[in-house]
Structure 1
Amino acid sequence: MKVIIVGAGLGGLACAIACCREGIDVVVLEKSPEAQEAGAGIQIPPNGGRIMRELGVFSKLLEKGAKVQEVEFRRYDDGHSLRIMPFGDDITHEFGVPWLIIHRADYHQVLLEEAIRLGVKFQWGATVENVLTDGPEVILAGGERVSGDVVIGADGIGSTVRNILLGDTVSLIETGDLAYRAVFKREQLEALNDDKVTELCQRVGVTSWLGPDKHTIFYPVRDGEELNLVLLRPDTFNQASHREKGDIYEMRESYADWDETLRKIISCVPSVDKWKLSNLPELPLWSKGAVALLGDACHPTLPYQAQGAAMAVEDGALIGKLLGLLQARFTKLEKDPSLSTNESTQNNIVSVLELYEHIRKKRTSRSVQGAIMNRKLFHMQDGLLRRIRDFLVRYAGVTRKSDWTWLSSFRQRQTLGHDVLEESTKLFEVWAATHLPVKSG
């Protein structure tokens, strides 16, 4: 079996590795002229970490990143601490793997190196002009044709594969939010000689300030030598692009009335990227013929619960697992002439991709809705509802050990504790019982 993956982001690389580990040939087509990934921090929650462990790269990610020891929520105006949630060993005990923070470029590099080691073939500077679902086949700018058994569109929120698959009928939905993202050197903050800022820099944890219509996220990366800052606020600008260099003074003015400690951190930011945050309507389908979508190409989410990349790598790993199980069954059939199938190999591939879509839609939809709910909780206006939220946050936790509300940890277990690969294996067996094998004659 040969799989063509369009897009060399985190989801695409996870899919490539998963397929290779199943003995499937993989070609990755990436429009960028060379391997690159946006330079910002990223969190790897336990469900994403579990996938990385299954793909054999978790230990390398741990070398590049760090285990989150705590997560703190603070008031936006005075910096008053609402809750410090213990993570560390509690997370590992509850979910089997720790919660990591890492530089996104380091995450990407680990996956890229593993994909190359396994024999994935890459074509850089490969711009997709068309995708034929029968075959299937990818036609590149200049006329080159790349054919295989499966095509996976892992090309992000502006997916060319999706637009071809659905006929340009889907338009992005502007969420009304934007994100300022910056990574800068620790020494820039230490130069402030501020005890509160220094204490934050020494933490291996995530600190969030919650305020009306806005919130911020701050944590260390690269052994604490660099700091990651994300500032989320309403999008009041009319720029055409979805990503561009941000105005540093404009950003600082947006948080002029926030906590003094945060303002001091912001004052050290030398430059910032500005990202428009967009969503998609729920797509009528993720797969058509032997072509399927994954990650932001089919279910982008607001970055309000650290699940965007985790859901994408779950998609990729699940596709690899299902195709691997299918290939193993056909290998078995080839060795046993007394067995045959009801359908052709290509028809079964199409059916397995439909199974992938069926497995993933409910879970990713719940993740998207969870991020929207977090947005409402994080961005509450001052008043009675905000005071109720602050009271509940004091007793909430991610693990059963740290959660006095029960509801918070229950919700987290649905996301962080679910084993998607175990689920996919069980559902494949149900599918296989009605598709293969059958006795010939």
Structure 2
Amino acid sequence: MNNQHKPLQNGLHVVVVGAGIGGLACAIACRRANPPLPVTVVERAPEILTIGAGIHIPPNACRVVSSLGLLDKLKQAGGYQVKGFTLRRYQNGNVLVEKPMGMRMKTEYGAEWLAIHRGDYQGVLLEAAREAGADILTNAEVIGIAEGIGESFGKHMVVLKDGKSLVADVVVGADGLWSGVRELVLGRSFPPVETGDLAYRGTFTREHLKSFKNERIDQLMEAENVQVWLGPGRHAVFYPLRNKTEYNLVLLVGDDLPEGVRTSQGSLEEMAANFEGWDPILNTIISCLKSALKWKLLHFKELDQWTKGVIALLGDASHPTLPYQGQGAAMAVEDGAILALLLSRLQNQGISDVPDQRNQQLSDLLLLYQDLRKRRTEVNVAGAVDTRHYYHLSDGDEQICRDKELASLPDSAWQGPCSFNWGDAEYQKSLLGFDGLADAERTFDEWSRKKSRQANI
């Protein structure tokens, strides 16, 4: 077929569908393997636009980007170490508790907690993927995956909308919440469902905030903290970006969009009315937003399977989550790096030249990847739902108990239990301190030894 993109002759050829943060992390990790894995990233958009607002790189993800040699580049691109996480009462902005972060993250969990503009994060990953030798195709929409024939027998064909196709040994579905690859894996339509929440989000300049000449706003501007106002059924998140030249604001409220409507332009008056009676300082900050675009928050029940033969899913294609733990992109980055590690280990161990045996080896490996990732991401998805509950408590007994428990956390030096996972030391250690790459190395070795024993029986 003249319209096929040929794989490189040496090494497993990996086709990554989607050039988001998880897909690019997977591509970089594949190219940084020894020896590098040939990678093609296909993105359906005509160009990869590095847009968006703020995003977190918590310690578990920071450990991964460090392993890829990208930590300094992310800091040069505006990523900074978050110094603290401040929870505030909605009515007056009074501090409920302030969690110290900064270097404590490195001491406790082995890596820093960064905040960065999403566009800057994706831009660093995109540049790194290209520099590492990944082939990145835009305006390339995947419409099917088929078994190869002729000279491509034993491989798989990733079929594009323009009629071209790519020959692949492994296909990675990193195509997000509305993943088409997910439907190929499951063999049926599987659209996401509504969570009951929607978000307003945006950024604005330092000059805009300075113009208010308000001492409390000036203090918030200078703090390298994530500020969160908690209130009945909603919350607000504010923190600096790009060396405090810009500021990020996210407003999470109840979803009032019609079913099936994913985004809609709301009014600034309606947006502000959601926070009537809240901290006047927050309301002043809200007035900086010049767009009231509503984003419906969606997810779905955990999948029974993430893989089908030599196809595997990662990130939002397999485990979308509410954004309330800062872990959506982080889990996708873990997925991508771990999948690349496993493929590299298998390639170095040796892969059969017999097509059926080769595909079985790859299929078994992808099931191992699923086993490694599925439980961890399900715990994160459930944890984000739990965070939502505690963030959105109405005034009353449960809210009073929450606030009292939060206020007591500094007395334990953040080492004790807490009903709310945000303050629970054991939960945070398992979430943020987990070394997914080291765990994958150990698990691959055990899996490989077991396979070897079975082969010798």
**TM beyond 0.5:** yes
CA distance in 2, matches of 1:3, 1:436: 25
Residues 16-415 of structure 1 mapped to structure 2, 5 A cutoff: 16-22=27-33, 23-63=36-76, 64-132=78-146, 135-238=155-258, 240-330=260-350, 344-396=357-409, 401-405=413-417, 408-415=424-431
CA distance in 1, matches of 2:405, 2:147: 50
CA distance in 2, matches of 1:178, 1:385: 24
- Listed one character per residue, the Cα deviations across residues 357-410 of structure 1 (whole Å, up to 9, x for unaligned) are 01111100000000000010000011010000011111236x974345467111
8 A contact 2:417–2:426 mirrored in 1:
no
CA distance in 1, matches of 2:29, 2:15: 13
Once the two structures are TM-superposed, the CA of residue 146 in structure 1 deviates from its matched residue by 1.0
Name the residue aligned to 2:4: none
8 A contact 1:9–1:37 mirrored in 2:
no
Whichever residue aligns with residue 66 of structure 2, its letter is R
Name the residue aligned to 1:433: 449
Once the two structures are TM-superposed, the CA of residue 58 in structure 1 deviates from its matched residue by 1.1
- Listed one character per residue, the Cα deviations across residues 398-438 of structure 1 (whole Å, up to 9, x for unaligned) are x9743454671111000100111111111111111233599
Q: 1:21 to 1:215 in 2, by over 3 A?
A: same
SS of the aligned residue for 1:105 comes to helix
CA distance in 1, matches of 2:188, 2:355: 35
- Listed one character per residue, the Cα deviations across residues 192-234 of structure 1 (whole Å, up to 9, x for unaligned) are 1111111101111100000000011100000000000000010
Name the residue aligned to 1:337: none
- Aligned match for 2:434, one of 418, 424, 427: 418
8 A contact 1:182–1:273 mirrored in 2:
no
Name the residue aligned to 1:338: none
SS of the aligned residue for 1:396 comes to helix
Larger mean CA deviation between 355-364 and 322-331 belongs to 322-331
- Listed one character per residue, the Cα deviations across residues 19-46 of structure 1 (whole Å, up to 9, x for unaligned) are 1111100000001111114420001110
Whichever residue aligns with residue 167 of structure 1, its letter is G
Gapped regions of structure 2 (runs ≥ 5): 1-11, 149-154
SS of the aligned residue for 2:342 comes to helix
Q: 1:66 to 1:272 in 2, by over 3 A?
A: farther
Once the two structures are TM-superposed, the CA of residue 274 in structure 1 deviates from its matched residue by 2.0
Larger mean CA deviation between 424-433 and 108-117 belongs to 424-433
Q: 1:400 to 1:59 in 2, by over 3 A?
A: farther
TM-score normalised per structure 2: 0.90
Once the two structures are TM-superposed, the CA of residue 142 in structure 1 deviates from its matched residue by 2.3
CA distance in 2, matches of 1:259, 1:438: 64
SS of the aligned residue for 1:395 comes to helix
Name the residue aligned to 1:2: 13
Larger mean CA deviation between 249-258 and 307-316 belongs to 249-258
Once the two structures are TM-superposed, the CA of residue 173 in structure 1 deviates from its matched residue by 1.7
Count of equivalent residues: 432
Report the identity percentage: 41
